[in-house]
A and B are shown apart, each in its own frame.
Chain A
């Protein structure tokens, strides 16, 4: 019998701690597959954030570090500077990366730090119980925007891929989604390319993945997947924003 499907070697057998219907799990799998494809399991060091993915160190079957809230790109910088021939990635939520960790991500990109960042944008603070994130959509109700996010008070949500693509040190920046199989396949390609950019020493690489939080959005998993398509993608257009091997898109 031919083997047609196998679990990624770069994932452990631990049971994921994510809620039912949360797409963090799909994203973990895509990251693990990219590491497998590169044959980089033994040379990869991952950095887990503060957020729902804090336990990522239990799920990726590679050496891992857990970083303070928002500081994963600085921790990854320290690792990469000490061990330049290793593959180093960060896995961060939108509160972690686009709020408290804004300085660290911008400067990692500005320096062209040869690391890969997987940025999980679910438009909310998942772990702390559904507070407003810098990526929360205008009008979106959260536990700290009970009347809906108001533009006049909080401005508009931050589009990180567009910003990161502007930095000269960025080799690759793309926004993808995992709300249906076709988009999962595209996300897989982008994540793989982001690891290849690092291996080729091209510069900083980030993939923003639109992700669901059914628990804190107050939706069923199916509703949540639909909401990504109907509400998130119109504000967060998918696509490759920069690819140094092809020139800016």
Chain B
């Protein structure tokens, strides 16, 4: 396996193809354009489908159709485009259809900016559309990890029959880093058959009906309870995080994505000055890794959450710490990125 220098967006697209994704439906929006562009070039080479839809609304519903027909399928977007997809995502969750949705976050609200942001944390981790549902949300902090998590997203989607979100900030999408791409065979672990898929009814098994409508409330409640059981199973089995130097830390930083890299540099400088600082980096934003935060609350004196947002993940950190220790927050919005110096000075204020 040779190392390749790739842009995050292109690496995500190639990783999807190597995970066996053969259908992509998208719509242009910065800063994720290299994903559909790359797919438009690569899909015909591997006998797959690339289609530029007339809107994000249409793209997500094409995903619904292809997924319901049993295909490994992906779409990608950012900001306003992801908002437009929400009705469709809710249908996908309700009908239990596997797919991967990449959100390369930009500044908001509204048309906002095209600069990197982490302002869609709430939208991604709380389901985003209408109704009671959650989706696994994977947050890479390097191009290499984006490759790994894209492949994982397809596997989780098929395993649990659920849409999965890969949530990157604009920097992950745009930066170039050396990556190792898995060989096709290595990662394409698509289930051999999807008996629930609608591919034509031969009469030998019950008809496939892809649907999220349950008009009888007691039946819909049963459906919701089944979904909740699935979500509990995902929480138990799929929570993922990385912790760095937490054991002796007085201050534990919480950060994900690009923000975690900036925080890491600040921690290194703080340590050099004798300050005991560590970090917990959630890799799955949902399910949120509450456990390591609860544990750290026994030994650490305080927490500091840093985000490219006005403070969203900090809510989950506070829920996990449950008032046992103070949880501070530092963030910037609108496409402004906190610098290492900024974070370092916040660390000094907090310890």
Partner among B54, B55, B200, B203 whose Cβ is within 8 Å of the Cβ of A86: B200
* B→A interface (CB under 8 Å): 23, 25, 49, 51, 53-55, 57-59, 61-71, 73, 87-88, 91, 95, 198-203, 207-213
A63 pairs with B198, CB closer than 8 A: yes
Q: Is A62 an interface residue (CB 8 A)?
A: yes
A67 CA to B57 CA, complexed, in Å: 12
Cα distance A107–B62 when bound, in Å? 12
Cα A71 to Cα B53 in complex, Å, equals 12
Of the candidates A41, A44, A68, A76, the one whose C-beta lies within 8 Å of that of B88 is A68
Q: With A and B bound together, what is the CA distance between A72 and B51 in angstroms?
A: 16
Q: Is the CB of A82 within 8 A of B54?
A: no
Taken together as a complex, chains A and B put the C-alpha atoms of A116 and B87 apart, in Å, by 25
Given A62-B207, A65-B198, the answer on whether A82 and B71 have CB atoms closer than 8 Å is yes
Are the C-beta atoms of B49 and A82 separated by less than 8 Å? yes
Is B58 within 8 A of A104, CB to CB?
Answer: yes
The 8 closest A-B pairs by CB, nearest first: A78-B65, A74-B61, A63-B198, A78-B62, A78-B66, A75-B65, A71-B61, A65-B210
Contact of A82 among B53, B73, B203 (CB under 8 A): B73
Q: How far is the CA of A65 from the CA of B68 in the complex (A)?
A: 7
Given A41-B201, A47-B65, are A65 and B211 also a contact pair (CB < 8 Å)? yes
Q: Are A62 and B66 in contact (CB under 8 A)?
A: no
Tell me whether B58 and A74 are in contact (CB under 8 A): yes
- B68 close to A79 (CB less than 8 A): yes
Residue of B nearest to A17 (CB): B215
Interface presence of A143 (CB below 8 A): no
CA distance A151 to B54 in the complex (A): 29
How many chain A residues touch B (CB < 8 A): the figure is 32
Q: Which residues of B contact A61 (CB under 8 A)?
A: 201, 207
Contact check, A83 vs B199: say whether CB atoms are below 8 A apart: yes
Query: What would 10 more interface pairs be, CB under 8 Å, given A62-B200, A74-B65?
Result: A65-B210, A68-B88, A78-B64, A78-B73, A81-B51, A82-B23, A82-B49, A83-B199, A107-B54, A107-B58
Q: Which residues of A contact B54 (CB under 8 A)?
A: 103-104, 106-107
Contact B23 A54 (CB under 8 A): no
Give the residue name and chain of the A residue nearest to B199 (CB). A83
**A227 on the B face (CB < 8 A):** no
Residues of B within 8 A of A57 (CB): 209, 211
Q: Are B207 and A64 in contact, CB atoms less than 8 angstroms apart?
A: yes
Contacts of A86 in B (CB 8 A): 69, 199-200
In the complex, what residue of chain A is closest to B213 when comparing beta carbons?
A66
Minimum Cβ distance to chain A for residue B264 (Å): 41
Which residues of A sit under 8 angstroms from B207, Cβ to Cβ?
A: 61-64
Least CB distance, B205 to chain A, in whole angstroms: 11
Cβ contact of A68, chosen from B23, B55, B61, B73, cutoff 8 A: B61
A74 proximity list for chain B (CB < 8 A): 53, 57-59, 61-62, 64-65
> Could you say which of B62, B88, B199 contacts A81, with CB atoms under 8 Å apart?
B62
How far, in angstroms, from A54 to B213 measured CA to CA in the complex? 9
A-B contact pairs, 10 of them (CB 8 A): A41-B201, A45-B200, A63-B208, A64-B210, A66-B210, A78-B69, A81-B49, A83-B69, A103-B58, A106-B54
- Which of A57, A65, A76 has most chain B Cβ within 10 Å? A65
Would B201 and A62 count as touching, CB distance under 8 A?
A: yes
Contacting pair A78 B88 (CB below 8 A): no
Chain B residues closer than 8 Å to A63, beta-carbon distance: 198-201, 207-209
B57, B61, B63, B208: residue with the most chain A Cβ atoms closer than 10 Å: B61
A82→B72 CA distance, assembly (Å): 9
**B49, B53, B65, B209: which contacts A76 (Cβ < 8 A)?**
B65
The yes or no answer to A77 lying at the interface (CB within 8 A) is yes
What chain B residues lie within 8 Å of A103 (beta carbons)?
Answer: 54-55, 57-58
A83-120 residues with Cβ-Cβ distance < 8 A to B are 83, 86, 103-104, 106-107
Known contacts A78-B66, A78-B73; is A45 also within 8 Å of B199 by CB? yes
- Nearest-CB distance from B299 to chain A (Å)? 49
Q: How far is the CB of B213 from chain A (nearest CB, A)?
A: 6
- A75: chain B residues at CB < 8 Å are 61-62, 64-65, 68
A42 to B202, CA, bound (A): 5
Q: Report the minimum CB–CB distance from A129 to chain B (whole Å).
A: 16
A43 interfacial contact with B, CB 8 Å: yes
CA distance A62 to B53 in the complex (A): 27
Bound complex: CA A78 to CA B99 (Å) = 12
Give the contacting residue for B65; candidates A62, A79, A106, A107; CB below 8 A: A79
Name the residue on B nearest A41 (C-beta): B201
* Complex Cα spacing A54 to B71, Å: 24
Cβ-defined contact, A68 with B58, below 8 A: no
Question: Which residue of chain B is the closest to A44 with respect to CB atoms?
Answer: B200
User: How many angstroms from the CA of A161 to the CA of B57 in the assembled complex?
Assistant: 24
Given A65-B198, A68-B91, A81:B209 Cβ within 8 A: no
| A157 smallest CB distance to B (angstroms) | 24
User: Taking CB as reference atom, which chain A residue is nearest B58?
Assistant: A74
A131-180 CB contacts (< 8 Å) to partner B: none
